[in-house]
Amino acid sequence: MFREHRGFLIRTIIYMLCLAALMSVVSIDASAGEDKFFEGSYTERAQEVIFLVLALGLFAISYKLGQAITLARMFAGFFLLCFIRELDALLEQNVGTGTWQVLVTLVLVAMAYQAHKNWDQLMAEVRMHVESYSFGLFMAGFLTTFLFSRLIGNEELWMAIMEEGYRRNIKNAVEESVELLGDALLLFSGVEFFVRYHAKADAQSQAS
């Protein structure tokens, strides 16, 4: 049984170590004195790195995944959008007002063009992918990062919980930590995406 599922078990251990490493990043920010979990915190930087790795990684491997090339590029575009959005304040301050919106628009146009050009192939790839372990991780990460972290970070909720002792940095710590967990799940979904379709590509090449 171990031999049969060795790859999955090894990846699970790696995921556990990755979560521990990300938690150490949160711990560093927790010891940052007055500026805990601010815009340029290590937790924020870790989120940006995850999105950039996913965007570049999925685009790079898309050329090797014949069965899911269009879907991989759609995911790459999505994560690139997330990366740009994370850099919104930095871009506004150092490049110009509206910079991140322009970049987002350019990426969306490129994604729309790819989707329109390869629509039938994309739909076939989506149907094949929605029941996969990778997609389950993606949905868990997406809902955690883009929905639950926003809900748990609601300021009125924390003011009600902490009353007179309300401290914004505690709310930020919880919100950013939950968001980082969601980002980690998205990262794991990208790894599982590669494992799934790379194995299929290898099997096809050996059969031919």
Alpha helices in the chain (DSSP H): 6-30, 42-61, 69-86, 88-94, 99-117, 119-129, 133-143, 149-152, 155-162, 168-207
Q: How confident is the model at residue 135 (pLDDT cuts 50, 70, 90)?
A: very high
Nearest to 19 by CA among 139, 181, 173, 148: 181
What is the rounded average pLDDT of the residues 181-198? Answer: 95
Predicted local confidence at residue 95, as pLDDT = 86
- The answer on pLDDT for 127 being more than 70 is yes
Burial class (CB in 10 A: 0-12, 13-18, 19+), 159: middle
The whole-angstrom separation of Cα 32 and Cα 43 is: 12
Predicted local confidence at residue 94, as pLDDT = 82
List, for residues 26-57, the tens digit of each pLDDT value.
999 998 776 678 777 899 999 999 999 999 99
Predicted local confidence at residue 3, as pLDDT = 63
- pTM beyond 0.85: the answer is yes
Nearest to 76 by CA among 89, 87, 65: 65
3-state secondary structure 157-182: HHHHHHHHHCCHHHHHHHHHHHHHHH
Q: How confident is the model at residue 5 (pLDDT cuts 50, 70, 90)?
A: confident
- The answer on pLDDT for 130 being more than 90 is yes
Judge whether 76 and 55 are in contact, CB under 8 Å.
Answer: yes
In a 13 Å sphere around the CA of 86, the CA atoms on its Cβ side amount to 26
Rounded (5°) CA angle 9-10-12? 65
Judge whether 185 and 143 are in contact, CB under 8 Å.
Answer: no
List, for residues 52-98, the tens digit of each pLDDT value.
999 999 999 988 887 799 999 999 999 999 999 999 888 888 888 88
Residue 81: both structure tokens together: 């959008």
Residue 183: both structure tokens together: 């980002």
Burial class (CB in 10 A: 0-12, 13-18, 19+), 147: exposed
Predicted local confidence at residue 203, as pLDDT = 58
